[in-house]
Amino acid sequence: MISAIIQARVSSTRLPNKVFANLGGKPLLFHVVDRLKKSIYLDSIIIATTDNVADNSIEQWASTNEIPCFRGSEYNVLKRYYDTAKHYKVKTIVRITADDPFKDYQVMDNVINQFISQEADLACNNFPPSYPEGLDVEVFSFAALETAYRNSCTDFEMEHVTQYFYQNKSNFKIVTIDPIKDLSDLRWTIDTLEDLEMTRKIYSKFTKRKSIYLMEDILKILSDNPEISKINGSVKRSEMYKS
């Protein structure tokens, strides 16, 4: 069973309630889920939120939209992933964060395909990064996740789920997707108001001709409207995936 597990909570430090930010008349969380539904590999999509009462709204949204939801530790996200995967008997986990409005199912399916074909413990496209931030994909086995869960001992590893793999890469078969032209300076995730403004500008360019705009479509929009990338151009990318 291959499942995307989306980590989501409303109490973001920099931009609270961003998972329900309005994009084209729908909340951000809707767009993340809708993009994943196009995958040819996923058997299910699961939302993993926290047991904090503030996240009741996420559970209610998931229920209304008939999406499985699991609630667990707020800060030990690794444990939340482990408990979610164990509860739903997931054998292969695709890690998704709920703040990525441009997730590309074709990019994701390529990583899943490599994970399967190369019998990896972890397959990813961000070690080192070359895709725009927000198109990161990590796919790993439940067995590898359980190893990380049993052995992680730092707050950093527990908060960021997959960091135990990278810190102990000799213990795992890690497959990295061949990098594309380096686009890692592009920021396609939402952590700040600038990110949200940039995202809304791009969404305003979408038309009804296509149901999903993928990476190449968005690159074309940015090429035609170079001022959009400048909106959040000063926000720094996470350094955690650099080797």
**pTM for the whole structure:** 0.93
CATH 3.30.750.80 assigned to 2-190: no
Q: Angle CA(22)–CA(25)–CA(29) in degrees, nearest 5?
A: 50
At residue 223, the 3 state secondary structure works out as: helix
Q: By C-alpha distance, which of 74, 88, 69, 95 is closest to 148?
A: 95
Instruction: Give Cα separations from 162 to 19, 134, 137, 227 (angstroms).
Output: 22, 16, 11, 34
Q: pLDDT tens track of the chain, all 243 residues?
A: 999 999 999 987 778 899 999 998 999 999 999 999 999 999 999 999 999 999 999 999 999 999 999 999 999 999 999 999 999 999 999 999 999 999 999 999 999 999 999 999 999 999 888 999 999 999 999 999 999 999 998 989 889 999 999 999 999 999 999 878 899 889 999 999 999 999 999 999 887 767 789 999 999 999 999 999 999 888 876 655 443
